[in-house]
Amino acid sequence: EVQLVESGGGLVQPGGSLRLSCAASGFTFSNYEMNWVRQAPGKGLEWVSYISSGGSTIYYADSVKGRFTISRDNAKNSLYLQMNSLRAEDTAVYYCARYLVVGATFDYWGQGTLVTVSS
Amino acid sequence: QSALTQPASVSGSPGQSITISCTGTSSDVGGYNYVSWYQQHPGKAPKLMIYGVTNRPSGVSNRFSGSKSGNTASLTISGLQAEDEADYYCSSYTSITTWVFGGGTKLTVL
């Protein structure tokens, strides 16, 4: 069974940093591209970042470019999101999502971790 | 990249069919057969219901179907059931190698 478990969320002050993790199991993690998608409270979904299976290709949404860094450790079956210079508008539940090349879609999602940026 | 346009809400009675639209541009919905639909119940993670415009993942009911015409994709749910009440989001791959979501549609089963 595919499982994605996010962790690392919490309350952080504006300008602060936070590192999210996503532990994957139930599939060969190193074979799959991965993404982060977020959802602000009461709002819709917003794609944040993509990383290829080997980590060599990375994309970011304009809203986080230059502030967030996606990475992965295939030996640890883990995906990460380093978030710096956090703003109030970054407050959201952050989901890691497995990418399915056929269909360019997100086929499995974790349960999410809440990041709150507030003073 | 602007969000795709979905109606804020739709409703239907049990057994009826409803359709949710998702309008984008030639740079996303109209340019690729990479439209997906997700179902999200309150407090839960999104669940993939349709990918590649018309394809259903294993385990998804055949009451869910997708289509596309030009820059507008659609999700149709037939034989509405109470458990279908949820938020639905469309998404599309885009020409600038990003992914864009719709604003979401709240489905109410009357």
Tens digit of pLDDT for each residue in B30-62?
A: 999 999 999 999 999 999 999 999 999 999 999
Nearest-by-CA chain A residue for B87: A44
User: Is residue B102 within 8 angstroms of chain A, CB to CB?
Assistant: yes
Q: Give, in order, the Cα–Cα distances in Å from B2 to each of A85, B23, B27, B28, B32.
A: 24, 11, 11, 10, 16
Q: Which residues of A touch B (CB under 8 A)?
A: 35, 37, 44-47, 50, 59, 61-62, 95, 100, 102-112
Q: Give, in order, the Cα–Cα distances in Å from B74 to each of B2, B10, B100.
A: 18, 13, 16
Q: What average pLDDT does this structure show over B83-103?
A: 95
What is the reported pLDDT for B36? 98
Cα angle value A3/A92/B104 (rounded, 5°): 85
The nearest CA of chain A is from the CA of B92 a distance in Å of 8
Nearest-by-CA chain B residue for A95: B45
SS (HEC) of B48-96: EEEECCCECCCCCCCCEEEEEECCEEEEEECCCCHHHCEEEEEEEECCC
What is the reported pLDDT for A108? 98
DSSP lists the bridge partners of residue B88 as B39, B105
Task: Give residues with Cβ within 8 angstroms of A14, minimum separation 6.
Answer: A86, A87, A88, A117, A118, A119
Q: What is the identity of the amino acid at B48? A: L
What is the reported pLDDT for B1? 66
Inter-chain contact B98–A35, Cβ cutoff 8 Å? no
What is the reported pLDDT for A44? 96
Distance CA B51, CA A105 (A): 6
Q: For B58-74, what is each residue's pLDDT tens digit?
A: 999 999 999 999 999 99
What is the reported pLDDT for B96? 86
Q: What is the identity of the amino acid at A101? A: V
Residues 7-66 (B) with a CB less than 8 A from some CB of A: 32, 34, 36, 38, 44-48, 51-52, 55, 57
What is the reported pLDDT for A64? 97
- pLDDT tens over chain A, length 119 residues: 999 999 999 999 999 999 999 999 999 999 999 999 999 999 999 999 999 999 999 999 999 999 999 999 999 999 999 999 999 999 999 999 999 999 999 999 999 999 999 99
What is the reported pLDDT for B97? 83
Other beta carbons within 10 angstroms of residue A70's beta carbon come to 22
Measured between beta carbons, the chain B residues lying within 8 angstroms of A108 are 48
Inter-chain contact B101–A45, Cβ cutoff 8 Å? yes
Query: For chain B, what is the mean pLDDT?
Result: 96
Among the partner-chain residues A44, A95, A105, the one whose CB lies closest to the CB of B103 is: A44
